Amino acid sequence: MTNAPIFNPKAMAQWLVLQHANQTVFQTAPTEMSPVDVAQATAVQNELVRIKSQHCGPTVGWKIALATPVMQQMVGLHAPIAGRLHAKQVIHSPASVVAKGYGRLLIEFEIAVRISKDLKPSNQSHTAQSVASSIGAWAPAFELADDRQADYTKLGGQGLQLLADNAWNEGAVIGQWQSTLSADTLASIKGQAFINGESVGFGFGADLMGHPLNAVAWLANEANQRGGWLKAGDVGILGSLVKSKFPTQGSRLRFELQGFEAINLDVN
């Protein structure tokens, strides 16, 4: 009887690096290098992030993807997934990006959080109530992602590959930070997205796992499960209030989060 080959996360991470570098249309990874569970997919992501850090700077935060059950079911998972943010890819509004730098630019309209105190593991899981005092500020944000022309009708069962691929993240655009927001305000806060001056959707804080603090707690627990934690100074982007958009060259995006200065992004 032969032993099963030992899973090598470096092989798939290097394959993903080439896929992105060549802007190859999203495709399923070869079976022999594909992860079979969340632990293996996370190991690939960790290696991909390590490689990416050489060019994009150290990790400075986290993102949440697949926050809704509908999206999870579409890709064959039963929970959200997390990815990492890199220093050189977290920029401030107003900002601009070059469309040709992506296989296909995908934008999400998010609430960002800045951690003020480490959220280390303890005997109990983090909750919305327990993380509240470790949050220093909130801000509107765009997530920059690259889906490389993925065919969404064929993403069934691709959840582990999305996790391995750092949830497609290519950075974030952050707006003005504010430190004084109540839990009630966070739940009801409205965000509205515009492209070239026309509204393309809106949502509310409660759309993020029921409350933005729930999203922060989930992210804190996920980081702990990976053997780390959300650190003071880390930025987290918590999921989109508006359906993802695919702006083309010449588009001007604006996101208005109630009570904050609007953020702007030009696609050149």
Q: Which two tokens stand for residue 36?
A: 């079979």
| Confidence band, pLDDT 50/70/90 cuts, at residue 2 | low
Q: How does strand 135-146 pair with strand 198-204?
A: unpaired
Mean pLDDT within 102-121: 96
Q: In this model, does residue 90 exceed pLDDT 50?
A: yes
Q: In this model, does residue 237 exceed pLDDT 90?
A: yes
**pLDDT per residue over 14-63, tens digit each?**
999 999 999 999 999 999 999 999 999 999 999 999 999 999 999 999 99
Mean pLDDT of the chain: 94
118 occurs within a structural domain: yes
95 occurs within a structural domain: yes
Given this model, what pLDDT does residue 100 score? 96
Secondary structure (3-state) at 88? helix
Phi and psi, residue 101, nearest 5°: -80, 0
Range of the domain at 84: 9-267
| Confidence band, pLDDT 50/70/90 cuts, at residue 4 | low
Cis peptide before 94 (omega within 30 of 0): yes
Long-range contacts at 42-45 (CB < 8 A, ≥ 24 apart): 42/163, 42/164, 42/226, 43/7, 43/9, 44/9, 44/12, 44/13, 44/16, 44/163, 44/164, 45/83, 45/84, 45/163, 45/164, 45/165, 45/166
Q: In this model, does residue 196 exceed pLDDT 60?
A: yes
Given this model, what pLDDT does residue 67 score? 84
Mean pLDDT within 248-252: 97
Instruction: Give the CATH number for residue 118.
Output: 3.90.850.10
Per DSSP (E only), the strands in the chain are 59-65, 81-86, 90-92, 95-97, 105-115, 135-146, 169-174, 190-195, 198-204, 235-240, 252-257, 263-267
Q: How many domains does the chain have?
A: 1
3 occurs within a structural domain: no
Sign, CA dihedral 69-72-78-81, equals: negative
Q: How far apart are CA 225 and CA 121, in angstroms?
A: 8
48 occurs within a structural domain: yes
Given this model, what pLDDT does residue 3 score? 61
104 occurs within a structural domain: yes
1 occurs within a structural domain: no
Counting every residue written for the chain, the total comes to 268
Provide the phi-psi class of 10: left if phi over 0, else alpha when psi is between -120 and 50, else beta. Answer: alpha
What pTM, to 2 d.p., does this model score? Answer: 0.94
98 occurs within a structural domain: yes
Secondary structure (3-state) at 96? strand
Residues 6+ apart with CB under 8 A from 115: 134, 135, 136, 230, 231, 232, 233, 234, 235, 236
34 occurs within a structural domain: yes
